[in-house]
Amino acid sequence: WSVVETTGTSPSPRSGHRMVVWRNFLVLFGGFYETVRETKYFNDLYYLNLQNLQWTKVEYGPHEQVPAPRSGTLMCLYPGGDCLYIYGGYSKNRDAGKIHQDCWMLNLKPLAGGGGRPHWERVGKKGNPPSIR
């Protein structure tokens, strides 16, 4: 093991986040941070350029559709493609937990072009979803 020095706006400390490698990028979504006094769930998106080791936070406007904050979501890349998918996950507000059963897609192509930013799109489900676990 060795420490990798990075620059840019790195993610805050967290657990339960998900990461995938796509082309020359490490993409990170969600997770949570918990102390004795508070628990905070995230729906933020960061990517690390693996060529120059620079983190970037993807900023979204207040009216853009994005997945709800969550941890433990399933996250995968479409094989050979440019789309990332998330499904499910968990979040908690005070004592009430919430199990998410929604599906979202993120087209990552704008990262490779150096311009624009990826946009989330909610994906409709067909058939019976997997049981809650």
Output the pTM of the full model. 0.91
Give me the pLDDT at residue 43, please: 97
Give me the pLDDT at residue 94, please: 74
- pLDDT tens, residue order, the chain (133 aa): 999 999 999 999 999 999 999 999 999 999 999 998 889 999 999 999 999 999 999 999 889 999 999 999 999 998 888 999 999 999 988 778 999 999 999 999 998 876 778 999 999 978 887 777 6
> How far is 8 from 17, CA to CA, in rounded Å?
19
Class of domain 13-123: mainly beta
> How far is 64 from 119, CA to CA, in rounded Å?
9
> How far is 58 from 70, CA to CA, in rounded Å?
17
Q: Report angle CA 11, 16, 22 to the nearest 5 degrees.
A: 65
Question: What is the CB-side half-sphere exposure of residue 131 using CA atoms within 13 A?
Answer: 1
Q: How far is CA 26 from the centre of its chain?
A: 11
> How far is 88 from 129, CA to CA, in rounded Å?
10
94: region left, alpha or beta (phi > 0 left; psi from -120 to 50 alpha): left
Give me the pLDDT at residue 115, please: 72
- Domain residue spans of the chain: 13-123
